[in-house]
Structure 1
């Protein structure tokens, strides 16, 4: 059915506090049921798994694609509904990035490109030498206007 009818029991099985809430909030933000709930697993889990009840595979796949969780993490169980156990292979973020399916090299490339673009823009804006500012009806350069105005009391406290 549509995402709004899919509620997921999100269980935090890793050592990071609040992981369940982060993922549950992300699901609700993506339009899944507000019946989505969170709890802590009784013990730590290494691998993230999404267990689905009989006849719920399509719903599980909908949830998995929203979280970018690879299909190998889906498993059919006997309990009704959907239970996502967040393992230590998913320590942060609202989409799954752990395991071999993720491509950290791509992320790194994207980040380094962003840095390169920022570096290009580090040149300071030149102050215009032209008379672009008017102070008391007198045209002057921004530097002159600043000098003329600097004798006045600053309005900022």
Structure 2
């Protein structure tokens, strides 16, 4: 899949397809009819916007990965989620680059984010801080830390409706910029942010933040890209000479017998190889 998608992107960019309004419209129209996509990409207009964004990104900055897996201890022919998957998805959720060594964003990406995410002064941002831990006073401690940093005196505290294992910052429609400002002040990553159905900002302090006024590890900055893509078979779209690795798992059935692709190839000696 990495090789196919990389080749497709290079073809589109070299042929000027992504800069041809008519061609992009036809592609987007066909995609909405033939594919099931996320809600954020379910219209022709949204897909055209995606094509425009893709065209701005150099192929060397487009990274493809596969979620890390590990052998299933109960079945040699199955795999389970690997230990590195959590870091990979957290890095993606935090909108960090998987291409740059530091995990930082490119100048173009940073400029785009600044242009699309309105900046709201801290003094105009009020937060409802809820204590979802068993530690008394957590909500008050975080609320005080926010007001000490200049956030609105309208910041309030409460007990969460139920205990929470993880910390979340929920924001209303159009308030992502405010949520990002709060998250930056407290050392929260993008993976803690969640858009809700109501209005305002609600920060639920979970069991993963039992002490301190900066989220554990939050001051460390961006994640290490090498850690995020370790064992994720990462590749970039500019790698035109990459070769696909043959699966070591029994994904093929020949004459009713499960076997690996290599075993199936060896068994099919009387079948000619394809020309491509």
TM-score w.r.t. the length of structure 1 is: 0.62
Residue 13 in 1 paired to residue 132 in 2?
Answer: yes
Which residue of 24, 34, 45 corresponds with 2:164?
45
Residue 72 in 1 paired to residue 191 in 2?
Answer: yes
Matches of 2:202 and 2:151, distance apart in 1: 14
Task: Provide Cα deviations, 1:18-77, integer angstroms capped at 9, x if missing partner.
Answer: 000000000000000000000001211000000000000000000000000011000000
Aligned residues: 101
Aligned to 2:214: 95
Structure 2: give runs of 5+ residues left out of the alignment: 1-119, 221-276
Aligned to 1:34: 153
Instruction: Report deviation, 1:102.
Output: 7.3
Deviating beyond 2 angstroms after TM superposition, the runs of 4 or more aligned structure 1 residues are: none
Matches of 1:49 and 1:58, distance apart in 2: 16
Which of structures 1 and 2 has the bigger CA Rg?
1
Task: Provide Cα deviations, 1:112-156, integer angstroms capped at 9, x if missing partner.
Answer: xxxxxxxxxxxxxxxxxxxxxxxxxxxxxxxxxxxxxxxxxxxxx
SS of structure 2 residue aligned to 1:11? strand
Matches of 1:89 and 1:24, distance apart in 2: 17
Residue 60 in 1 paired to residue 179 in 2?
Answer: yes
Structure 1: give runs of 5+ residues left out of the alignment: 104-157
SS of structure 2 residue aligned to 1:75? strand
Contact 2:187 2:219 survives alignment (8 Å): no
Structure 1 or 2: more helix by fraction: 2
Matches of 1:24 and 1:11, distance apart in 2: 9
